[in-house]
A and B are shown apart, each in its own frame.
Chain A
Amino acid sequence: MSQTFDKISSIVFFIIGILFVVQATQISDSAYGSTVGPKTFPLGLGIILVLLSLRLLYETWRQAVKARLAKGPQSPSKTFSIEIKKFLILFISAIAYVFFLEIVGYVITTFIFLLIGFQTMERGKVLFSVIISAAFSIGIYYLFSVILGGSLPSFPTF
Chain B
Amino acid sequence: MSTLQFLADGFAVAFQWQNLLFAFVGVIIGTAVGVLPGIGPMSGVALLIPVTATLTSGLPTEAAAASSIILLAGVYYGAMYGGSTTSILLNTPGESSSVVTTLDGYQMAKQGRAGSALSIAAIGSFCAGIIALLGLVLLAKPLSSVALKFGPAEYFSLMLLGLAAVSGLAGRSITKALIMTVLGLMLGTVGIDAVSGIERFTFGQPMLFSGIEFLTIAVGLFALGEVFKTILEKSDDDGQIAKINRILPTKQDLKDSAVPIARGSFLGFFIGVLPGAGATLASFFSYITEKKFSKTPEKFGKGHIAGVAGPESANNAASGGAMIPLLTLGIPGSGTTAILMGALIMYNIQPGPLLFDEHPEVAWGLIASMFIGNLMLLVLNMPLVRIFAKVIETPKKYLLPIIIAISFFGVYAVQYTTFDLYLLLACGLLGYLFAKNDYPVAPLVLALVLGPMIENNMRRALTISNGDFSIFMTKPLSLLFLIVAVSWLLIPLFMKMRGKNVIINEEE
Contact = CB atoms under 8 A, between A and B. Distances in A.
A55 B401 contact: no
Nearest to B409: A140
A104 interface: no
B186 A90 contact: no
A51 to B, nearest CB: 10
B150 interface: no
Contact of A98 (B175, B418, B463): B418
Contacts of B395: 122
B425 to A, nearest CB: 6
Contacts of A46: 186
Given A35-B462, A102-B418, A83 B234 contact: yes
A46 B179 CA distance: 11
A37 interface: yes
A136 B404 CA distance: 12
Contacts of A13: 179, 183
Given A80-B233, A82-B233, A87-B228, A28 B198 contact: yes
Interface in B388-431: 395-398, 400-402, 404-405, 408-409, 412-413, 416, 418, 421-422, 425, 429
A152 B413 contact: yes
A49 B421 CA distance: 27
A45 B186 contact: yes
Interface residues of A, number: 66
A98 B408 contact: yes
Contact of B198 (A23, A38, A53, A81): A38
Given A52-B178, A56-B175, A118 B201 contact: no
Interface in A72-117: 80-84, 86-87, 90-91, 94-95, 97-99, 101-102, 106, 110, 113-114, 117
A101 B418 contact: yes
Given A38-B198, A83-B234, A49 B405 contact: no
A150 B418 contact: no
A149 B422 contact: no
Nearest to A46: B186
Q: What are the 7 closest A-B residue pairs judged by CB atoms, nearest first?
A: A117-B401, A35-B467, A30-B196, A121-B397, A38-B193, A36-B462, A122-B397
21 contacts: A2-B437, A9-B439, A30-B198, A35-B467, A40-B458, A41-B454, A49-B179, A53-B179, A56-B175, A82-B233, A83-B231, A86-B232, A90-B401, A91-B228, A94-B425, A101-B412, A113-B401, A118-B397, A144-B413, A148-B57, A152-B412
Nearest to B189: A42
B262 interface: no
B40 to A, nearest CB: 20
Given A20-B186, A52-B175, A136-B402, A83 B232 contact: yes
Contacts of B409: 106, 110, 140, 144
Interface in B436-486: 437-439, 454-455, 458-459, 462-463, 466-467
Contacts of B231: 83, 86-87, 90, 121
Interface of A: 1-2, 5-6, 9, 13, 16, 20, 23-24, 27-28, 30-32, 34-38, 40-42, 45-46, 48-49, 52-53, 55-56, 59, 80-84, 86-87, 90-91, 94-95, 97-99, 101-102, 106, 110, 113-114, 117-118, 121-122, 132, 136-137, 140, 144, 148-152
A60 to B, nearest CB: 10
Contacts of A37: 196
B185 interface: yes
A101 B408 CA distance: 10
Contacts of B197: 30
Contact of A9 (B185, B437, B467): B437
A41 B455 contact: yes
Given A34-B463, A42-B186, A144-B54, A132 B196 contact: no
The binding surface of chain B is classed by DSSP as helix
A64 to B, nearest CB: 15
B207 interface: no
A36 B437 CA distance: 37
A8 to B, nearest CB: 10
A84 B232 contact: yes
Contacts of A152: 412-413
Interface string B164-189: 00000000010110110011011001
B246 interface: no
A117 B227 CA distance: 12
A60 B285 CA distance: 31
B437 A5 contact: yes
A4 B396 CA distance: 31
Contacts of A99: 418
Given A49-B182, A94-B425, A121-B397, A36 B459 contact: yes
Nearest to B227: A90
A35 to B, nearest CB: 3
Most buried by A among B405, B413, B421: B405
Nearest to A5: B437
Nearest to B203: A23
B54 A150 contact: yes
B55 interface: yes
A94 B404 contact: yes
B195 interface: yes
B126 to A, nearest CB: 33
B228 A32 contact: no
B204 to A, nearest CB: 13
B55 A148 contact: yes
Contacts of B183: 13, 16, 49
